């Protein structure tokens, strides 16, 4: 795939140079890149094309993740795409069994059938496939008792049907798989773009009249969430902590005020003083880990601790693309990034008092400017994602819905 290589390296460079930041932008661009990777992928006539496709995606994904391991959204999207490929593979083989009788001889009719088949395969069967992946729950039992056994049957029958379908409609299934995957990635991009809507729809159910809300820094999800509540004629008051060192809280305050929300800008240091008068803390996140912990803009742990002290609900709003299937280990250090000291001190500002003669390897003055904080799950009251509200302990279930377990480590099979 020489055609995509420039695109990939371009994006890698962007990630490395932190030209692209923010999980939403990163997720979207990653998904687009992977879509073009998939579309450029020349399907060989190998036995397992899905695996080949997945390998190609993995290869790219590995580069992207290495480019900026802090942007967990990259890895999330890569895993999502791998999962999509797997799902589509399963569904296509399932369809292959059904369609065997119909489409075996009619290669010419393929184009016509193609129009309605994807909708059937992608929507219905992907859902079924997801059900298959999903562990049984009360809800699935209520929803579709008869389906699960059927799917499991098809899933079990895929093994022996493979040879038949491959031999019969090799080219058809290959093209269809690729097509389906591309369509599914398109759906994923749409989902990333529109993740704010399902989240903000829940705003009215969580914000009551005269609520006092505190937030830190600026998050688009939070903004949309509050906008939605305001549009539903809720009147509430927002305290915005400015969020050093980027001070994006000022931007959020400006945006909220434009919509007529009562807004008060406070300094970060005043969070503890004010939190006793706050009903709810609503913040955005950088990533949500599998254990329910949150990687969030710096300062969030302080806010969460203060909220816990005063028993104020700490609500994290996050799109599902921020859902990371990894369990954090020492996240403050390993999943963090130290930024330029110039955010805190001007260059050369301390040159006058630095004693350069006594340089024994350790500088006298260090400036620490981390980007993220880790909020442990016990401090989070609720996650509001595009699939609804969840408690931190439910996160691993959500993750099982979106990712397949063997993709957690994105590495090419060849190396393994």
Partner 1 sequence: MSAKFYGLSHFVFEKSLSYFCSLILGVHSKCAFRSYSYGLWWLTQPSAFPNEHLGPTKAIIHHRIAPSPSPAQPGLTRTVPPAPPSRLALARSLVSLSRTPNPRPRHKPSASAAMDPRRPPRSLSGGVEPKIRQVGFFTPDASAPSEPLAPAAAAVPAPSTKQGVAAGSPPASDDLSPGRLSPVMIPPPRHADLLAPGSPSPVVADSILATSAPARSSARLDVASEIADDDSWSRAPSSIELEENKRSLAGNEGAPTSIPQKQKTSKAERRAIQEAQRAAKAAAKEAANAASAAGPVTSKQAKAAKTAKKEVPQAASTVASEKKITERLPERERKLDAPHPRMQFDDVHKVEKAKKRAVVNQSEARNRVELFRHLPQYVHGTQLPDLESKFFQLEPMHPSVYKVGLQYLSGEVSGGNGRCIAMLLAFREAIKDYTTPPNKTLSRDLTAKISSYVSFLIECRPLSISMGNAIRFLKSRIAKLPHTLSESEAKASLQSDIDRFINEKIVVADKAIVNHAITKVRDNDVLLTYGSPSVVEMILDYAHELGRKFRVIVVDSRPKLEGQGLLRRLVAKGINCTYTHINAISYIMHEVTRVFLGASSILSNGTVYSRVGTASVAMVAHAFGVPVLVCCEAYKFHERVQLDSICANELGDPDVILKVPGKAEDHLKNWAENTNLQLLNLTYDATPPDYVSMIITDYGMVRYDSRYDQSFNLFI
- Point out which residues bind partner 1 (CB under 8 A): 239, 242-245, 247, 250-251, 253-254, 257, 260-274, 276-277, 298-299, 301-302, 305-306, 309, 332, 336, 342-346, 349-350, 353-355, 358, 362, 364-370, 373-374
To 5 degrees, how large is the angle CA 39–CA 43–CA 45? Answer: 170
> Following CA atoms 292, 34, 337, 383 in sequence, which dihedral angle do they give, to the nearest 10 degrees?
-20
Between 63 and 371, whose beta carbon lies closer to partner 1? 371
Query: Is residue 245 reached through a cis peptide bond, with omega within 30 degrees of 0 on the bond before it?
Result: yes
In angstroms, give the least distance from the CB of 394 to partner 1. Answer: 25
Between 13 and 273, whose beta carbon lies closer to partner 1? 273
Between 206 and 271, whose beta carbon lies closer to partner 1? 271
Burial of 112 (0-12, 13-18, 19+ CB in 10 A): exposed
In angstroms, give the least distance from the CB of 340 to partner 1. Answer: 10
Burial of 278 (0-12, 13-18, 19+ CB in 10 A): buried
Residues 263, 259: Cα–Cα separation, whole Å: 10
Between 245 and 319, whose beta carbon lies closer to partner 1? 245
Between 188 and 335, whose beta carbon lies closer to partner 1? 335
Between 49 and 263, whose beta carbon lies closer to partner 1? 263
In angstroms, give the least distance from the CB of 140 to partner 1. Answer: 39
Residues 403, 399: Cα–Cα separation, whole Å: 6
In angstroms, give the least distance from the CB of 293 to partner 1. Answer: 13
Angle between helices 49-67 and 23-40 (to 10 degrees): 140
In angstroms, give the least distance from the CB of 219 to partner 1. Answer: 15
Q: Which tokens sit at 172?
A: 């058809």
Between 151 and 265, whose beta carbon lies closer to partner 1? 265
In angstroms, give the least distance from the CB of 111 to partner 1. Answer: 54
Between 109 and 258, whose beta carbon lies closer to partner 1? 258
| Gap between the terminal Cα atoms of the chain | 22
Q: Which tokens sit at 258?
A: 């434009």
Q: Which tokens sit at 52?
A: 């080949």
In angstroms, give the least distance from the CB of 201 to partner 1. Answer: 24
Q: Among all chains, which residue has been given the structure tokens 């799902």?
A: 87
Q: Which tokens sit at 324?
A: 């990371």
In angstroms, give the least distance from the CB of 132 to partner 1. Answer: 42
Q: Among all chains, which residue has been given the structure tokens 């691993």?
A: 396
Residues 343, 25: Cα–Cα separation, whole Å: 23
């Amino acid at each position: 795939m020489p055609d995509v290589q420039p695109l990939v390296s371009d994006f890698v460079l962007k990630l490395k140079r932190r030209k692209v930041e923010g999980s939403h932008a990163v997720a979207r661009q990653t998904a687009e890149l992977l879509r073009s990777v998939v579309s450029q992928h020349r399907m060989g006539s190998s036995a397992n094309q899905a695996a080949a496709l997945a390998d190609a995606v993995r290869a790219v994904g590995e580069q992207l993740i290495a480019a900026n391991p802090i942007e967990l959204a990259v890895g999330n999207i890569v895993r999502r795409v791998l999962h999509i490929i797997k799902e589509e593979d399963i569904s296509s083989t399932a369809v292959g069994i059904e369609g065997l009788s119909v489409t075996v001889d009619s290669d010419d009719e393929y184009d016509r059938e193609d129009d309605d088949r994807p909708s059937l395969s992608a929507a219905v069967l992907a859902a079924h496939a997801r059900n298959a992946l999903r562990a049984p729950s009360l809800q699935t039992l209520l929803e579709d008792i008869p389906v699960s056994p059927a799917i499991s049957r098809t899933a079990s029958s895929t093994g022996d049907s493979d040879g038949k379908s491959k031999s019969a409609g090799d080219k058809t299934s290959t093209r269809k798989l690729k097509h389906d995957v591309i369509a599914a990635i398109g759906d994923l991009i749409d989902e990333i773009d529109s993740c704010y809507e399902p989240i903000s729809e829940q705003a009215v159910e969580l914000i009551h009249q005269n609520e006092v809300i505190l937030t830190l820094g600026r998050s688009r999800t939070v903004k949309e969430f509050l906008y939605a509540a305001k549009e539903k004629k809720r009147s509430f008051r927002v305290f915005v902590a400015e969020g050093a060192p980027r001070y994006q809280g000022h931007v959020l305050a400006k945006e909220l005020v434009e919509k007529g929300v009562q807004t008060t800008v406070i300094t970060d240091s005043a969070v503890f003083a004010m939190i006793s008068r706050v009903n709810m803390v609503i913040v955005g996140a950088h990533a949500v880990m599998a254990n329910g912990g949150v990687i969030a803009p710096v300062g969030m742990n302080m806010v969460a601790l203060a909220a816990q002290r005063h028993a104020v609900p700490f609500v994290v709003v996050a799109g599902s693309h921020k859902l990371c299937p990894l369990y954090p280990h020492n996240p403050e250090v390993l999943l963090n990034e130290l930024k330029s000291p110039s955010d805190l001190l001007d260059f050369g500002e301390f040159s006058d008092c630095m004693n350069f003669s006594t340089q024994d390897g350790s500088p006298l003055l260090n400036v620490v400017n981390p980007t993220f904080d880790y909020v442990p799950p016990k401090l989070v009251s609720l996650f509001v994602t595009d699939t609804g509200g969840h408690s931190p302990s439910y996160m691993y279930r959500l993750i099982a819905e979106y990712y397949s377990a063997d993709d957690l480590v994105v590495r090419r099979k060849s190396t393994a």
